[in-house]
Amino acid sequence: MRSVSRGLQPIYAPLLHPKHSTRIALSCTSPQPAWTRSFHATASYRALDLSYSLHDNQGKAKGAPILILHGLFGSKKNNRSVSNAFARTLSRPVYAIDLRNHGDSSHDKDHTYTALAEDVEAFLHKHNLKDATLIGHSMGAKTVMTMALRDPSCCADIIAVDNAPVDAALASDFPRYVEGMRKAEEAMPMSQKDADAIMEPYAKDLPVRQFLLTNLVREPGKPLRFRVPVKILADALDDMADFPFKNPDEARFCKRALFIRGTKSHYVSDETLPIIGRFFPRFELADVEAGHWVISENPEAFIKTVVDFLQETE
């Protein structure tokens, strides 16, 4: 793990790679101009009630809340162990959330970052959660970035894991995963083993396949099916590559932000650092030895990176 650029000055957008020799001045101390966000950034959706698990170290965690949001095809169960670790180490309650169309949360044909953000904003309001830290991986990372730029007062800080505030095509793996899930569903498998065999040509890596197959559910006497709406998520892949804010001069989050990237992943390239710095002038960067699935591939380094960031004093 390599941490970069601690203690950044809040009035600058940092360019954190050695090849960059300049800083872009961005004021966060003067009032921001009024802006008209794009329709995509502000479109109103029907907020869904989200399923969640609370990890509070048997009631001992009493600090400011932490919300952790999974990535595409994930669920709150993926973050169980790290949520427990944060609750114990930081003495802060952790809400692991199922985003819409995932886990035990409701399904809806609208699956954009604005819709995802509005769901989580409604969750914060419903549970009266103040001064929260928002942590998100991949799809969850773009969701917390969207929330922070829509309403900086919604949280105390954010931690974005292996994604950047840019329009960028998803890895070609994701359309293949969706195709494999469709084939598996059409085959109506009666066992996990049968579903795994169908998925193998579309997801060669066993850990990835096992991750995708955690979405299978069974009703007595019926074939296995995916609890996620595969067609809705397939149709949403272009939206998941998008980012609703285009102009960092019109929306900015001037509180602390940590961007964690996998050293073997391409989602947060050095070329994205200047735009990250313009949207999030106080951002810090940390590299973790992992691919895109940072949390599951290297949970120890991920936990340490998050704890170090959250334990820093202003």
Domain ranges of the chain: 2-29+39-167+243-311, 173-237
Residue 70 reports pLDDT greater than 50: yes
Supply the pLDDT for residue 313.
61
Kindly report, residue by residue over 34-55, the tens digit of the pLDDT.
333 333 455 566 899 999 999 9
Top pLDDT among 76 and 173 is at: 76
Q: What is the pLDDT of residue 312?
A: 86
Are 67 and 95 spatial neighbours (Cβ–Cβ below 8 Å)? Answer: yes
Please give the Cα distance from 208 to 202 (Å, whole number). 10
Looking at mean pLDDT, say which of 11-20, 26-35, 277-286 comes out highest: 277-286
Question: Has residue 23 got a pLDDT over 50?
Answer: no
pLDDT cut 90: percent of the chain above it: 80
User: Which pLDDT does position 11 carry in this prediction?
Assistant: 29
Over residues 171-228, the pLDDT tens digits come to: 668 899 999 999 999 999 999 999 999 999 999 989 889 999 999 998 888 999 999 9
Q: Which two tokens stand for residue 25?
A: 């001045």
Q: What's the pLDDT at 176?
A: 92
Condensed to tens digits (0 to 9), the pLDDT of residues 98-119 reads 999 999 999 999 999 999 999 9
Q: Give residue 171's pLDDT.
A: 63
8 A C-beta contact, residue 228 and residue 101? yes
* Tens of pLDDT, residues 242-286: 999 999 999 999 999 999 999 999 999 999 999 999 999 999 999
CA distance 166 to 290: 21
Sign (positive or negative) of CA dihedral 84, 87, 90, 96: positive
User: Among the options 53, 83, 105, 138, which is catalytic?
Assistant: 138
- CA 286 – CA 175 distance, rounded (Å): 29
Residue pair 145/158 in contact by the 8 Å Cβ criterion: yes
pTM of the model: 0.86
Active site residue 5: no
Selection from 79, 301, 83, 87 nearest residue 211 by Cα: 79
What is the pLDDT, as a whole number, of residue 35? Answer: 32
Domain 2-29+39-167+243-311 bears CATH identifier 3.40.50.1820? yes
pLDDT over 60 (residue 162):
yes
φ, ψ at 230 (rounded to 5°): -60, -40
Q: Does residue 140 have a pLDDT over 70?
A: yes
pLDDT of residue 8: 34
Catalytic position from the list 55, 102, 111, 292: 292
In the block, which residue shows the tokens 């928002």? 134
pLDDT at 22 over 90: no
Instruction: For the chain, list the strands marked E by DSSP.
Output: 2-4, 12-13, 24-25, 52-55, 66-69, 94-97, 133-137, 157-161, 216-217, 225-226, 257-262, 283-288
Residue 125 falls in the annotated catalytic set: no
